[in-house]
Structure 1
């Protein structure tokens, strides 16, 4: 791969990680509106936030139509798992 392209992609990746860290305070479940998407179980979300699924070697899959907050929840789960 072209070294200039590699550097660009690496920098792009780091910028995305930095943005995620900067926005971590707004990407948590305390900002999630469960009334907006009543099909999402608050109890299951809170259970996932305990990260027991990691210890048990399980996975979590978020399925749904566009705009139902899958990314918001995924980021929240990732931040919780890493902190």
Structure 2
């Protein structure tokens, strides 16, 4: 079962890329899903608003998996 942060990230990725949430898994990289660097910055902005955590774009690469992104926000949100 997905964690709340991971579910929220998947929902935002789905909205950003226009793909169904059900086709996104925690093991996929954001690049693999078709995320461009411009869309990644937009996604980071949305997630910053939602979680109150400013993303370190050096720490989050296009090769990060959805699970890694969720773990990043979990540790920063504490």
State the TM-score, normalizing by the size of structure 1: 0.25
Normalised by the size of structure 2, how large is the TM-score?
Answer: 0.26
In terms of Rg, which structure is larger? 1
